[in-house]
Amino acid sequence: MIADSVTQPNVLVLAESPQISMGSLYQTISQGIALAMENALQQQGDLNIVYQASTNVGVQTLYGVDVSSTGVSHTAERFWD
């Protein structure tokens, strides 16, 4: 019993190294996936803001059309100048 502990001091460390490396690999992969999901959610929120802004401009354009007297709209000049 004493001879085993003296002649083989690093058996436990060698036996644990595959588990430690796999744990580190899984942690790295999970952090990468979490960061990718966070970026996807942020991008989705940013695109929703862009879509809402473009919808608002479209609605303002439709409400700003004055075709009652001449049949010609001059609102495009106001938005694109």
Is residue 46 one of the residues assigned to a domain?
A: yes
Residue 43 lies in a domain: yes
Model confidence over 11-30: pLDDT tens digits?
665 667 788 889 999 999 99
**Full residue range of the structural domain in which residue 33 is found:** 11-60
Does pTM top 0.85 for this prediction? no
Does a structural domain hold residue 18? yes
pLDDT in tens, 58-69: 998 888 876 665
Does residue 49 lie within any of the structural domains?
yes
Number of domains into which the chain is organized? 1
Number of H helices, E strands in the chain: 3, 0
Helix (H, G, I), strand (E, B) or coil at 81: coil
